[in-house]
Structure 1
């Protein structure tokens, strides 16, 4: 819901207040006043503000010039690609080209070049690039700009590529992004492959460095690991660790999980000047998110140690997930820790509800024949699940079946009715367990759960259902067994 301050500004902006229009655009750019960030809306209000200022017949021309500069400064911060198809896109397009062709090398000039280059040649915006020329022709925008009049998309992209090269060679806030985009645009050419092969075959250090400089992620990772000597070699100096961190950060930006893990190790080194336990944990967490098995074990173990301070509803749930992920990838240490966090009951034949669960399964399979009421059918599913995961009677009756299953375990939490009974985490280990959860989940999802009633009603129904199951199926099962033996 919009704040009062925002509504006040919006009202003034609609009445033509230039300052209010700029404030409104700033709110849409930054999210101030709890406003959703919407670059397209920001551009619309900046267009209104810009033309209001330029059309005013102001006596003080310097004041007008200053106001225009302030608006252009705001425009330069707008991500142009996110405003495509907006009513004000044409204004933004024209403004950025005009700023890009100013002679003074200001931040506005550089920002405009970056926005145009990013829009026109970034592979992430191919869909916009395919529609751009038709859109501009329909609005008759390109022809109004002398610098690009008559150019097709390839011509515009050629200019944008020049902008990108200029930005990569200058020292500005856009240099790093420009270099990354240039690397992204590089083809996987034979030269890069030959450099990597030269390193693999001949251990050519110069070839490895060149491949890393040209943006080969594996080369950056290899160079970083060699500089850090994380393979158990001698402890490196701070200078070497700094260089290692530089190359590993570049590899990490490319999404390499091993690079993130290595960075976590470096930030834990006492001799590293950038030592930071918090940054180390962040790197390990990022590696875990990308699937690094050792990092997943670290993250899980860390969460398990801090579980008492955690604000999660069921303590240990997050820890169990990451340790389970590591266990799935074959980390031997994860099995022991997982056994401390999750309970295990893979053999339902050893559980207290086994015989009753077999009878409940028969009732479920023939529920139409036996004309089972919906509440009886739900209870039969509860019995089957209770047997698979060795529930107590209270857990059987009260567990919220629809919320039991997580990817790796079931969470049994009945504190809503019995606050003193602590939640339990039980590992899902067999196909039968998953099938039981899936079947029950479908039935409970399509049922009115209020039909189960309160705890007293559930206990009464349990006694009736178990008596019926025993009398109906026990004799039949015994007769079938004797027939098979004979």
Structure 2
């Protein structure tokens, strides 16, 4: 309860006396025997005193009233922080800059003239140079800001430089930003120097809490990344602030895996299986493999979208030493990894389908599907096998048919189906018999064209042609729509092979006689 002297100060302050308002503001700012400490009340009386040009009042506001309390009245309070900064208070300059510039990214928090913005930037840089982490972090985020400084006050510091200073000062957001930059750029040594002490602190904190509290996502990613680099031997030639403890990387993996980090779960599964992702045995950790634990961890990682985990599971299920060896399960996990885009799995699926083509001749279509996907990811082995399975033939019988279309477009306009067949021959290198007899809708498998006319032309062989480009895909879609609902067999509107061949020769003349057909009626068993 206020004493007699304090009651007199209150009366005089309410009467508008600047000295009493300043004194009452001090009492509420620091607390007294009769009045409790109250920063909002202190700000109220100090601000009233400052309006009466009381210099100590705005100095107290600038040095003691925090940003959070000043933000609701930023426009009215910013001038007092500015005056306190002019009087030499770096802290007041920092709050002034924060009120004027806002978060440093979206622009000014209050409307301000160019001169005021430049002054706020100078105040922010002064605070940053004085070692205020918040100022350093704010400057780091203002990548487009160029502080206007008087001559001879020091060289300007880049946004990246302020970011590193803020990280060194312990600003968590800045530390996270610097670590993300180092990780993205592949600066592993720099990452480990900064990240390893932080990872050890996370482990110590988790141990002290005895697993009661969950780790933050950033801490989990930190543990996983540090463990990954240590497993790769990246941290052997740098000073990390102390030697590595035995199995320290394993400790990081275990903690991150328990917090559902998929990369940590993959690493734990491979450690338990004593193998790499490709199934090859490794000696890390020694001892026998524990496939039961490995399957548990790898399944958890796979369910979180990690294709390598499913691929590793497929390697486990085909191991002879695994008591529950199951080839069907191995194939199922392999295809799951391939569907998720894992290149090695796609390549192996392609090999498996190609080897099984004698069981089902359509397996070559499946093989081409997976090999094309692996090839798109840069697999030279897949590219070589594709050239073997589905070569684009360029010998005269396969190159000349498509050329018949050139120079005869007007003649062929009256026969759109024949024109479309010749266009198809030019796109995919079809022989004359293939072009005339191909069942276009049935041949289109999306990623490839299955050319199979053996039922009508005994000398032919079944083969595949890849659909390589978007242009080929669009053209094939257009031509396939033209043949929708049309019988492509001998009883259809195009007639039998002899009739189609006769129509072609009639329209294009001797150019259609480039391929020796022999006795067509005898070979295809059709009457004229």
Q: Which has the higher contact order (CA 8 A, sep 6+)?
A: 1
TM-score by length of 1: 0.50
Rg comparison, structure with higher value: 2
TM-score calculated relative to the size of structure 2? 0.46
Q: Which has the higher helix share?
A: 1
